[in-house]
Amino acid sequence: MIREIQDKIIALKKEKNICLVAHTYQASEILEVADIKGDSFVLSQKAQLAPESTVVLAGVRFMAEGVKLLSPDKKVILAHPDAGCPMAEQIAPERVRQYKKEHPDHPIVAYINTTAELKAVCDVCVTSSTAVKIVSRLPEKEMLFIPDCNLGDYVQRQLPDKKINLWLGGCHVHAGVTERDVINARKDHPGALLLVHPECVPEVVAHADFVGSTSAILEFAAQSDANEFIIGTEMSISEHLTYQFPDKHFHMLSKKLVCPNMKITSLMDVYRAIAGTGGEEIILSDELMRDARRPIDKMIELGQ
Ligand code: 13P
Ligand code: SF4
């Protein structure tokens, strides 16, 4: 059944000139037929270079918006219209505007995992893998970091000369992991390396052997000589690694590391979006496109 749907997807993509883009937290059966896979920002960068004029995205809304912002001439369809991200959507842009009024000298740094509306009121974006580099290159000493206080805290610890004001927000999936989970996992798997995403709380990050974005964790595990790992990010990453490297051992740091927003998209949703009977086209006004693109361009400029 899965194979049949996958074959239909492959044929339809070709027939309709569609590029299928999927975040690494998606199910394997979706990733197997995706043309582009990766972490949040990499998806939009790679989609920009794709020759197809239509992109179907299996992931969450802010990722589809990210693709649209970098590829304004492409038609971008979010495979499941209800696939949102509570972290990306948790701040009303008005509250950031208010902060700006009160602190006109503080740049607003936005994690790329935010809505286009929120990006539009910020000064520079960062990804989980570039945050330290980008913040270190900002001329200002003091700033506001939104929306993930855990990633913000991680950056602050790497850059003690900066003063990073944090917003009390974050990813409930990663932030749900506790130090107790680390102690238990270390006890169950002594000798395994602990790889965690910086969206985890500081008490968890402090125990890590490696801290990095989704792709950085995948890359680290692939290249490491070690053969046993505890994975502190969404469950699918442990599954993909187990599948890719059958001789290595991967354990989930906690069973709580499952993102329901990422899991809402099924292979059938992807099929319907490609067939034109499902999904939702991402439409952003010209003004929003212009304003939300600005902090992304700033990130690209500072990252060079
Ligand atoms: P990255 O894929 O950029 O590491 O972000 C993690 C995440 O939570 C995506 O939803
Ligand atoms: Fe959002 Fe889920 Fe990613 Fe957390 S894991 S940032 S809730 S999409």
SS3 126: strand
Do 186 and 164 share a domain, yes or no? no
**26/68 same-domain check:** yes
Q: Give dist(CA 207, CA 223) in Å, integer.
A: 21
* Ligand 1 mutation target, pool 25, 129, 261, most atoms within 8 A of CB: 25
Q: Give the CA-trace dihedral at 223, 225, 230, 236, to 10 degrees.
A: 30
Give residue 213 CA to ligand 1 midpoint distance, Å. Answer: 7
Q: Do 181 and 32 belong to one domain? A: no
**Does the C-beta of 262 come closer than 6 Å to ligand 2?**
yes
Q: Residue 177 has what pLDDT?
A: 98
Same domain, 220 and 251: yes
Question: Which domain does 27 fall in, by range?
Answer: 2-85+262-283
The verdict on 31 and 78 lying in the same domain is yes
208 with 272, same domain?
no
Close Cβ partners of 68 (under 8 Å, ≥ 6 residues apart): 74, 76, 116, 282, 284, 289
Quote the ligand 1 centre to 159 CA distance (angstroms). 22
Cβ(237) – ligand 2 distance below 6 Å = no
On whether both 125 and 274 belong to a single domain, the answer is no
Task: Compute, in angstroms, the gap from residue 36 CA to the centroid of ligand 1.
Answer: 15
**CA distance to 19, 120, 165, 196, per residue, from 128 (Å):** 25, 19, 17, 12
Same domain, 296 and 155: yes
Q: For the domain that residue 296 is a member of, what is the CATH number?
A: 3.40.50.10800
Residues 152 and 216 reside in one and the same domain: no
- 71 & 206 share domain: no
pLDDT tens for 76-128 read 999 999 999 999 999 999 999 999 999 999 999 999 999 999 999 999 999 99
pLDDT in tens, 227-255: 999 999 999 999 999 999 999 999 999 99
The tally of domains found in the chain comes to: 3
141 shares its domain with 96: yes
Which helix or strand (DSSP H or E) is residue 194 part of? strand 193-196
Q: How far is the CA of 45 from the centre of ligand 1 (A)?
A: 15
pLDDT digits (tens, 9 = 90+) for 197-211: 999 999 999 999 999
